[in-house]
Structure 1
């Protein structure tokens, strides 16, 4: 017999889930959640702590396969439909081959599907038909150069880049500082602009920046969540040209090296 308390109650819809593997210093959990529909849950875990500043060495350490494998297993219990590696530098620092190894490591650890921030960026550029890109980063120059090289491997030309030169505390960068570095990076011959780093707050800036610059603006957290939700057959909640693009390709069926 139903109790008085249970009368009129309906069971909640079954949640879909996204496992998220993030660096130890990731501080923008709430920003990732803002991209997710109400019936999609995020299962976040972090890579092990270490004291290296935000340099090429730290990016390489964030891609350590043993740590990534362990973190992936940590989020598999609630049975996510996809596991996303949410770190831009950690997924581009070793080039296209390194990004592929990361995805394979996550899948070998048991994930049904794996995505990475840098891999998602390439997919997003293909969907939008972008071949010339301006990039704004919080990084020191050697890290930014690795991003430029990664993009070049995929046939994307970086027409300009600007970095903030930060070695830590990236999550503390203000919206005003993001707008400033984006303005410095933009060029007339850039088809779009990319704001790198999942620890850089950008959610509320995408649409205003697109209106001001007159071109698509992509951000690390935007493409990360877009790709993960796309793998589930879902759409991200938010603004920007990427989310309204006519995508004729099924996830995982894009032609490598073609923009």
Structure 2
């Protein structure tokens, strides 16, 4: 008699996302079953304008500022007042800039604002996922709007975590979120991942990527991690929610 109305869920997750970016919510919603609730708080990001428009490359200053008080702290506190079980920090590049230690400090600070709820950062979740998968050598593929300096900071982030980065850099696709197509991303990654890699990590929560995970894993024979995939995996784990009903988005979800 009654139509689904979105109220009957087994877990609700919070998402911290740049104010003009629809990527994290779009990809997370695509991956989760209908009985996982997603609730976003939008955090001001100085490099994105009305309509989600960005320059061809994003400058480092607003990337760093995104992770600093007061905006993200206030958004976290407000979001944590909702009945969410854990909060995802869905932003890759600030972790690149502040590094693993700065990211850990940020997560601890936000956890206090979240009244003790777990807060999961994207890059930390990627490192944990690589450890679970037993992959120590990675090919790091960043969005085309990450310049060489920002992508280099990403390489340093993973190296500081003890990983061997055998390839890193922005991918050669149009620097426009709305022009990224799954087929083009798939073909570029297949052509550029070296044989030495044990896993592929695709950075950038605003980078359209989860739709190619399964196809890339089939083509390369390697686990493929993307920003929104790993932050979902980490946040569901932190919430104590099951993972094995997420299908088609990588072998990672077979590792609770």
Q: 1:23 aligns with which of 18, 36, 39?
A: 18
Inter-partner Cα distance in structure 2 for 1:24 and 1:198: 13
1:73-123 deviation per Cα after TM superposition (whole angstroms, max 9, x unaligned)? 221222211111001112232111111022112111024111010110011
1:81 matched to 2:85? yes
> Which residue number corresponds to residue 52 of structure 2?
none
Deviation at 1:165, TM superposition (A): 7.0
Deviation at 1:162, TM superposition (A): 3.2
Structure 2 gap ranges (5+): 49-54
Q: TM-score, normalised by structure 2?
A: 0.85
What's the C-alpha RMSD, in Å, of the aligned pairs? 2.4
Inter-partner Cα distance in structure 1 for 2:189 and 2:132: 22
Structure 1 gap ranges (5+): 7-11, 248-259
> Which residue number corresponds to residue 51 of structure 2?
none
Question: CA separation of 1:189/1:51 partners in 2, compared to 1, >3 Å: closer, same or farther?
Answer: closer
1:154 matched to 2:161? yes
Deviation at 1:178, TM superposition (A): 1.5
1:189 matched to 2:196? yes
Inter-partner Cα distance in structure 2 for 1:47 and 1:166: 27
Aligned length: 239
Inter-partner Cα distance in structure 2 for 1:145 and 1:129: 24
Inter-partner Cα distance in structure 1 for 2:66 and 2:178: 17
Deviation at 1:58, TM superposition (A): 3.0
1:94 matched to 2:90? no
Q: Does the 8 Å CA contact 1:140/1:165 hold for their aligned counterparts?
A: no
Q: TM-score, normalised by structure 1?
A: 0.84
Of residues 179-188 and 197-206 in structure 1, the stretch that sits farther from structure 2 once superposed is 179-188
Question: CA separation of 1:14/1:196 partners in 2, compared to 1, >3 Å: closer, same or farther?
Answer: closer
1:213-253 deviation per Cα after TM superposition (whole angstroms, max 9, x unaligned)? 111111111001010111122234233121123x5xxxxxx
Q: Does the 8 Å CA contact 2:174/2:180 hold for their aligned counterparts?
A: no
Of residues 220-229 and 23-32 in structure 1, the stretch that sits farther from structure 2 once superposed is 23-32
Question: CA separation of 1:167/1:118 partners in 2, compared to 1, >3 Å: closer, same or farther?
Answer: farther
1:44 matched to 2:40? yes
